[in-house]
């Protein structure tokens, strides 16, 4: 049996629970001063104060990490990314900063069409190689579980290849990867005016293979004006649910279309973006189990207004935060940046931010029963900061202060035994 004790943590954040925290409960992160954690074979065996733990356990039978002067938290969970894609759009980002509009960029071959071309020409081995490097970087920032979407193939072959790459990465990398099928991510020029035919293709052809091969846990769709309507989104997500997949939705990002309300209607696990959600949609979310997943780095990169995270929490919603890492609108996987933006621009407290990146993010990927908190019976996915308090997370703005990462009880970053 592999045994580990982390002791003397100046602040031990537990975020205990097996379901998401709503509203004011997001501020309850279960702080233990001078805390300690016992891990046995990758599973948390006990949590308490250092005095309580050391009175029960013999140090000599355990590997011991002394976390004196450091804060200890559950591993972060990035619950919305587009992890696997081909090519980059750096020139397009500069064009947008210069003031060029979306249509002019599209006319030059930019936009999602550019990513689709590059992704279709990328091999499985190339996806895995690049994906591993990306996972290494997020793990360094304390991410122990990540969601990844397809959606840059928009055809059978490439969508399947993206999902197969994620399956392979989940097998070979310490970070757990939750795969999402986002076939209806955009409408290519050849399908303009024929969006219903495209949805038919995604349901009858691609979704069928995804479900048969068990390549995804979730299905997602971009419900947006000039992309896919509420009606089309309802049809695709209903088919995905019937095929055994859990549901997510890109909702109300640019236009108040009603995607938030649809998410509640269909029982989606999460509704994501939500920059333009209506008051009624937010009220419906607050009375539901659907997680509001907010993506402040996307608003930052696009110079848009941020989602109304403060209002959502005050209304009683369960809010998660994620990066939305992708090649176009948000080419960043920086958890420290997300923390800074949520604190400074969205007016979330650090306690709410931690909840949004741990237990609520775990719920947003359907795994709150096994990860997202430091409590008995859960996986030992734990991070140790180089500073004594969680308040250093927003204070050391947009800087990574994660010193040690423990995944399933194994140290995958840092050397906590050095003094």
Residues β-bridged to residue 155:
none
Residue 231 Cα distances to 169, 221, 279, 394, angstroms: 34, 12, 21, 41
Mean pLDDT throughout 195-209?
98
Does residue 381 have a known ligand-binding role?
no
Rounded to the nearest 10 degrees, how much is the dihedral formed by the CA atoms of 195, 196, 199, 201?
Answer: -100
Tens digit of each residue's pLDDT (9 = 90 or more) over 323-364: 999 999 999 999 999 999 999 999 999 999 999 999 999 999
Residue 136 annotated as binding?
no
Rounded Cα–Cα distance for residues 136 and 170 (Å): 12
Pick left, alpha or beta for residue 67 (phi over 0 → left; psi -120 to 50 → alpha; otherwise beta): alpha
Percent with pLDDT over 90 in the chain: 91
Q: Please name which of 293, 338, 298 lies closest in space to residue 320, comparing C-alpha atoms.
A: 293
Whether 273 has a binding-site annotation, put simply, is no
Contacts of 142 (CB under 8 A, 6+ apart): 73, 75, 76, 335, 383, 400, 402, 405
**pLDDT-derived band at 61, boundaries 50, 70, 90:** confident
CA–CA gap between residue 274 and residue 299 (Å, rounded):
11
Residue 320's region, left for phi above 0, alpha for psi from -120 to 50, else beta, is beta
Whether the CB-CB separation of 50 and 33 falls below 8 Å is answered with no
Q: Annotation-wise, does 324 bind a ligand?
A: yes
CA distance 206 to 235: 15
326 annotated binding-site participant = yes
- 152 has binding-site annotation: yes
> Nearest to residue 202, comparing CAs of 165, 237, 248, 174?
237
Model pLDDT, residue 354: 99
Round the average pLDDT of the chain to a whole number and report it.
Answer: 96
Q: Is 134 annotated as a binding residue?
A: no
Is 367 annotated in a binding site? The answer is no
User: What is the reported pTM?
Assistant: 0.97
The pLDDT > 70 percentage for the chain reads 98
HEC string of 107-169 equals HCCCCHHHHHHHHHCCCHHHHHHHHHHHHHHHHHCCEEEEEEECCCCCCHHHHHHHHHHHHHH
Question: 3-74+373-413 falls under which CATH superfamily?
Answer: Urease, subunit C, domain 1 (2.30.40.10)
The pLDDT score that the predictor gives to residue 105 is 76
CA–CA dist 365, 342 (Å, integer)? 20
Q: Which residues, in sequence order, are CB contacts of 165 under 8 Å at separation 6+?
A: 84, 124, 127, 128, 131
- Asked if 290 and 272 touch (Cβ cutoff 8 Å), the reply is no
Positive or negative: CA dihedral 252, 332, 407, 122: positive
**Hey, is 23 helix, strand or coil?**
helix
- Which of 181, 225, 184 has its CA nearest to residue 201? 184
Q: Is the Cα dihedral 109, 113, 117, 122 positive or negative?
A: positive
More confidently predicted of 292 and 111? 292
258 is in an annotated binding site: no
- The answer to whether 51 is a known ligand-binding residue is no
* Topology at the third CATH level for domain 77-364: TIM Barrel (3.20.20)
Count how many residues are written for the chain.
419
- Is 253 within any annotated ligand binding site? yes
Q: Model confidence over 142-151: pLDDT tens digits? A: 999 999 999 9
pLDDT-derived band at 189, boundaries 50, 70, 90: confident
21 compared with 100, residue with greater pLDDT: 21
From residue 82, alpha-carbon distances to 32, 131, 141, 158 in Å are: 35, 11, 18, 14
Beta bridge partners of 32: 12
| Residue 360 CB coordination number (10 Å) | 31
- Other beta carbons within 10 angstroms of residue 307's beta carbon come to 26
Q: How confident is the model at residue 42 (pLDDT cuts 50, 70, 90)?
A: very high
Decide: helix, strand or coil at residue 335. Answer: helix
* CATH 3.20.20.140 domain span(s) along the chain: 77-364
pLDDT for the residue numbered 99? 85
pLDDT of 300 > 80? The answer is: yes
Confidence label for 107 from pLDDT (cuts 50, 70 and 90): low
Q: Where in the chain is the domain with CATH 2.30.40.10?
A: 3-74+373-413
């Amino acid at each position: 049996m592999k045994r580990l004790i982390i002791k003397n943590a100046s602040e031990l954040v537990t975020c205990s629970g097996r379901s998401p925290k709503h509203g004011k409960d997001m501020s309850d992160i279960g702080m233990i001063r001078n805390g300690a954690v016992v891990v046995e074979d990758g599973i948390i065996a006990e949590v308490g104060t250092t005095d309580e733990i050391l009175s029960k356990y013999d140090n000599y039978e355990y590997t011991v990490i002394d976390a004196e002067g450091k804060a200890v938290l559950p591993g972060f969970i990035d619950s919305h990314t587009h992890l696997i894609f081909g090519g980059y759009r750096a020139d397009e980002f500069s064009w947008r900063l210069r003031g060029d509009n979306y249509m002019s960029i599209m006319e030059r071959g930019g936009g999602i069409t550019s990513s689709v071309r590059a992704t279709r020409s990328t091999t499985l081995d190339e996806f895995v190689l690049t994906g591993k490097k990306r996972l290494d970087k997020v793990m360094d920032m304390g991410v122990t579980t990540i969601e990844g979407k397809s959606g840059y193939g928009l055809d059978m072959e490439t969508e399947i290849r993206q999902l197969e790459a994620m399956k392979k990465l989940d097998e070979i990398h310490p970070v757990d990867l939750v795969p999402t099928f986002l076939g209806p991510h955009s409408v290519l020029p050849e399908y303009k005016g024929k969006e219903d035919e495209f949805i038919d293709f995604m349901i009858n052809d691609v979704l069928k293979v995804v479900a048969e091969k068990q390549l995804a846990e979730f299905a997602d769709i971009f419900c947006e004006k000039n992309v896919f309507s509420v009606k089309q989104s309802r049809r695709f997500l209903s088919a995905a649910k019937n095929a055994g997949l859990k549901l997510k939705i890109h909702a109300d990002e640019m236009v108040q279309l009603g995607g938030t309300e649809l998410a509640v209607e269909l029982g989606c696990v999460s509704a994501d973006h939500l920059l333009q959600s209506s008051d009624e949609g937010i009220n419906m979310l607050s009375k539901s189990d659907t997680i509001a997943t907010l993506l402040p780095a996307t608003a930052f990169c696009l110079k848009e207004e941020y989602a109304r995270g403060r209002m959502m929490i005050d209304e009683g919603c369960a809010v998660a935060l994620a990066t939305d890492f992708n090649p176009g609108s948000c080419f960043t996987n920086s958890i420290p940046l997300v923390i800074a933006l949520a604190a400074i621009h969205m007016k979330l407290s650090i306690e709410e931010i931690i909840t949004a990146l741990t237990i609520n993010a775990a719920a947003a990927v359907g795994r709150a029963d096994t990860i997202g908190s430091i409590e008995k019976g859960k996986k030992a996915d734990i991070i140790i900061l180089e500073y004594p308090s969680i308040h250093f997370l927003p204070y050391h703005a947009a800087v990574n202060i994660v010193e040690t990462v423990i995944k399933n009880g194994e140290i995958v970053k840092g050397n906590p035994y050095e003094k």
